[in-house]
Structure 1
Amino acid sequence: MACSRQLAPYFKPSLPFTGPIPGGLRDGFMVIISGTVLPACDRFQIDFQCGSCPYPQDDIIFHFNPRFEEGGYVVCNTFERQNWGREERNYAMPFFKSHPFEIRVLVKCDSFQVAVNGNPFVQYNHRIPFTRGNYISVSGGVDVAIISFQDNVSLGTWCPRAAGILQTYPVPYHTSIFGGLYPSRSLTITGTIPLHADRFHVNLKWGEHVAFHLNPRFSEKTIVRNSQLHQSWGPEERGLPGGMPLLPGQSFTIWILCEAHCFTVSVNGQHQFQYNHRVPNLQQIDRLEVEGDVTLTCVQV
């Protein structure tokens, strides 16, 4: 069992950023933006656009604009034929300066549905046809770690709390990675860590070999990385410049990006470390396993 199909993401884009949406907007399509609000942020914005031209500005189907003035609020709007429409303001500000965030925007036939940090936040009804949307733009006082896309998303995948469900996967969890790994391919693992957890691990394997072993250990407050080749473990890597990002009792999202020379790992939208490949043939890595003290709610391969 796995979540809906994941498309190639944008990793650590420089802002202001404008990039194409793979295949354009459609019903059941989800965009996930993870990052951190900068300490000096006044505002930032995410725009779903009908093109990439800044002047004259192409139509903006959905403008999502958190502002930290006047106690903080979020503006939603549409820009059509060189004019802004009526603002919709939400004063339940879900963003905090210097704090990480995850925004999930689900496209439905009648509206955009937005969840922030796992909680439903706003529904914005379409004012112009959403199928015209083919670009995303992000700007302002944030550091974006990743912009990712998913197709054929259910309400429970968008926000389990909104659907009144929390799907869980059996652990130990094993699944195939069809086509193996290659540069630009990524995997995402979402779940919750039990309060009394000791450790769990994520393994990327082929046969009996472990190309990448990611092993959070809570008593040691670190994430051990290693490889097991020909039944022998190599040297461990343990350094975490920003400290342990995973805590018992909390939910998490681990994103593993396969690059040409290494795996890049982010936790909750924050870059953590790189792990240089110790095997030459990435495409032979065809299995993912997760075992230990963890509850899984979504796995994307």
Structure 2
Amino acid sequence: MVVPFCGHIKGGMRPGKKVLVMGIVDLNPESFAISLTCGDSEDPPADVAIELKAVFTDRQLLRNSCISGQRGEEQSAIPYFPFIPDQPFRVEILCEHPRFRVFVDGHQLFDFYHRIQTLSAIDTIKINGDLQITKLG
């Protein structure tokens, strides 16, 4: 799969639904991002329910939303930085009623409480940056 990638989430998100992204981090990465959005419109930009951005220079995993062009409050606290250059990874985003639960390589890293309440409207996944995608599910 080619990066940047944009794909449809059949039926949108709902409690109990999981999005899986497996890939390999590039050898000299700066950053990559995985976003779940409400459609793929560029103008006006689609609402972003959750954006996960791995920043290698700071070893941070930032998350945020963007609704009606307004970015929300960025969250950055994580117990450890899970991504290693030139190594495979597995990210699972589990949708629950009040939140997304995010797991990396089987370990729960954080919760992100929904800022978009109509979960079924979250129907697009976008991936870009310094990685290769090996599997989506």
TM superposition score normalised by structure 2: 0.93
The residue number in structure 2 matching 1:68 is none
Q: Distance in 2 between matches of 1:245 and 1:182?
A: 26
Q: Distance in 2 between matches of 1:245 and 1:254?
A: 10
In structure 2, the residue matched to 1:181 is 13
Give yes or no for the alignment of 1:240 onto 2:71. Answer: no
Of 113, 128, 131, 1:276 maps to: 113
The answer to whether residue 42 in structure 2 is matched with residue 205 in structure 1 is no
Partner of residue 221 from structure 1, selected from 59, 74, 77: 59
Structure 2 residue runs of 5 or longer lacking an equivalent are: 40-45
Show structure 1 runs of 5+ residues with no match.
1-168
Report deviation, 1:195. Answer: 1.5
Residue identity in the other structure for 1:275: F
**Alignment partners' CA distance in 2, 1:286 and 1:213:** 14
Following superposition of structure 1 onto structure 2, how do residues 1-301 of structure 1 map, counting pairs within 5 Å?
169-207=1-39, 208-241=46-79, 243-300=80-137
Q: In structure 1, the residue corresponding to 2:49 is in which secondary structure? A: strand
1:95 maps to what in 2?
none
Report the alpha carbon displacement of residue 200 of structure 1 after superposing the two structures with TM.
0.6
Displacement after TM superposition at 1:201 (Å): 0.4
One-letter code of the match for 2:32? F
CA RMSD of aligned residues (A): 0.7
Tell me the CA shift for residue 268 of structure 1.
Answer: 0.6
In 1, the alpha carbon distance for the partners of 2:17 and 2:105 equals: 18
**1:248 to partner: Cα distance:** 1.1
State the one-letter code of the partner of 1:221.
Answer: R
Identity of aligned residues (%): 32
CA shift at 1:280, angstroms? 0.9
| Structure 1 length-normalised TM | 0.43
1:212: how far off?
A: 0.6
Runs of 4 or more, structure 1, over 6 Å off, are none
Any idea what SS the aligned residue of 1:192 has? strand
Query: Once the two structures are superposed, what CA deviation does each residue of 1:94-131 show, in whole Å capped at 9, x if it has no partner?
Result: xxxxxxxxxxxxxxxxxxxxxxxxxxxxxxxxxxxxxx
- Please give the per-residue CA displacement for 1:46-90, whole angstroms capped at 9, x wherever unaligned: xxxxxxxxxxxxxxxxxxxxxxxxxxxxxxxxxxxxxxxxxxxxx
1:254: how far off? 0.3
Number of aligned residue pairs = 131
- The one-letter amino acid of 1:299's match is L
